[in-house]
């Protein structure tokens, strides 16, 4: 696992965007795995800038998002469908037919999860997966517990995640309790992974991850220690350096 500690959130965002740019320039039809949450916003802004000012071309790029809440309409600003359009897709030249986000409103969840993993395979697998990390060490919505799912699945959200994510909702009661997420196995199949973490709230999870000694379902991100090509980019606050 490679660790990059940046001075602040802005340089973290630029470093991540630079890695994405390299990947797209190397392979025009790169398959990207994308994350939501507040952490990747700066990276998306920088990629939008690269598209507008430097002509970074997304026309053949294929994307698969990590997760989506269950039971939220896609016109709801809290849905990840809405988030991705508002924060990224509406501002670049991506072909929306190449965009994939798990369906949190499917009539047949089991089938929809199976098809999502199948489609990733069909598109050749994920070349570069972007991840954030929950304060409890979750990746995607794979929450700490006794066991973790291998493939895309429906999960119950952890109390801490519901509390952390309630900042985006009117009240904590409005936060969905279930989500659909790529499983740990779906994530681990990506050829290259970048995990981003910013701010004090992530310090404990990052400390446990970069210690790098144990893999445990109690810290889902720890499975990344088994992956051959992971870069963790954290700012000084998340790493535990206070100026």
Instruction: State which residue has the least CB distance to ligand GLP.
Output: 132
Q: Does 220 bind ligand GLP (CB under 6 A)?
A: no
Q: Does 190 bind ligand GLP (CB under 6 A)?
A: no
User: In 3D, which of 57, 62, 208 has the Cα closest to residue 129?
Assistant: 62
Q: Does 132 bind ligand GLP (CB under 6 A)?
A: yes
* Least separation in angstroms between CB 74 and ligand GLP: 16
For residues 24 and 133, which CB has a smaller minimum distance to ligand GLP in the complex? 133
Pair of tokens at residue 87:
């924060």
Order of strands, sheet of 62-65, starting from the edge strand that comes earlier in the sequence: 2-6, 230-235, 192-197, 128-131, 31-34, 62-65, 99-100
- Taking each helix axis from N to C end, the angle separating 9-26 and 41-54, rounded to the nearest 10 degrees, works out to 50
Task: Report the Cα 167 to chain-centroid distance in Å.
Answer: 18
* Least separation in angstroms between CB 222 and ligand GLP: 15
Q: Does 134 bind ligand GLP (CB under 6 A)?
A: yes
Is 100 a catalytic site residue? no
Pick one of 15, 20, 34, 35: the residue that binds ligand GLP (CB under 6 A): 35
Q: Does 39 bind ligand GLP (CB under 6 A)?
A: yes
Is 118 a catalytic site residue? no
Stretch that binds ligand GLP, among 17-25, 90-98, 133-141, 144-152 (CB under 6 A): 133-141
Is 67 a catalytic site residue? yes
Give the torsion through C-alpha atoms of 169, 81, 122, 114, to 10 deg. Answer: 50
What does each C-alpha distance from 90 to 45, 75, 84, 141, 146 come to in angstroms?
12, 14, 8, 25, 39
Of the residues 65, 98, 136, 142, only one is catalytic, namely 136
Of the residues 46, 98, 103, 138, only one is catalytic, namely 138
Of the residues 143, 158, 235, 237, only one is catalytic, namely 143
For residues 66 and 99, which CB has a smaller minimum distance to ligand GLP in the complex? 66
| H/E run at residue 68 | strand 67-69
User: In 3D, which of 144, 170, 153 has the Cα closest to residue 70?
Assistant: 153
Pick one of 14, 34, 37, 89: the residue that binds ligand GLP (CB under 6 A): 37
Is 90 a catalytic site residue? no
Q: Is 20 in a helix, a strand, or coil? A: helix
Identify whether the C-beta of residue 162 lies closer than 8 Å to the C-beta of residue 153. Answer: no
Q: Does 187 bind ligand GLP (CB under 6 A)?
A: no
Pick one of 58, 88, 141, 239: the residue that binds ligand GLP (CB under 6 A): 141
**What residues are labeled active site?**
67, 136, 138, 143
Binding site for ligand GLP (CB under 6 A): 35-39, 66-67, 132-134, 140-141, 161, 165
């Amino acid at each position: 696992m490679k660790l990059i500690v940046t001075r602040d959130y802005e340089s973290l965002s630029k470093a991540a965007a630079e890695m994405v740019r390299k990947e797209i320039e190397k392979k025009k039809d790169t398959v990207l795995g994308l994350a939501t949450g507040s952490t990747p916003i700066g990276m998306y802004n920088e990629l939008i800038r690269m598209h507008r000012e430097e002509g970074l071309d997304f026309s053949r790029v294929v994307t698969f998002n990590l997760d989506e809440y269950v039971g939220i309409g896609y016109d709801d600003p809290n849905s990840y469908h809405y988030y991705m359009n508002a924060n990224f897709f509406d501002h670049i030249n991506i072909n929306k037919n190449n965009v994939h986000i798990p369906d949190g409103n499917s009539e047949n969840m089991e089938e929809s999860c199976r098809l999502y993993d199948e489609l990733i395979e069909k598109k050749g697998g994920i070349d570069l997966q972007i991840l954030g990390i929950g304060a409890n060490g979750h990746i995607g919505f794979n929450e700490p517990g006794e066991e973790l799912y291998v493939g895309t699945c429906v999960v119950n959200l952890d109390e801490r995640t519901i509390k952390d994510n309630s900042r985006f909702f009117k009240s904590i009661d409005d936060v969905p309790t279930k989500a659909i997420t790529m499983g740990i196995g779906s994530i681990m199949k990506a050829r290259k992974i970048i995990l981003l973490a910013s701010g004090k709230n992530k310090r404990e999870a990052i400390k446990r991850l970069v210690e790098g000694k144990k893999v445990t379902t109690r810290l889902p991100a720890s499975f990344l220690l088994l992956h051959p090509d992971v870069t963790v980019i954290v700012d000084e606050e998340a790493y535990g350096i206070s100026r």
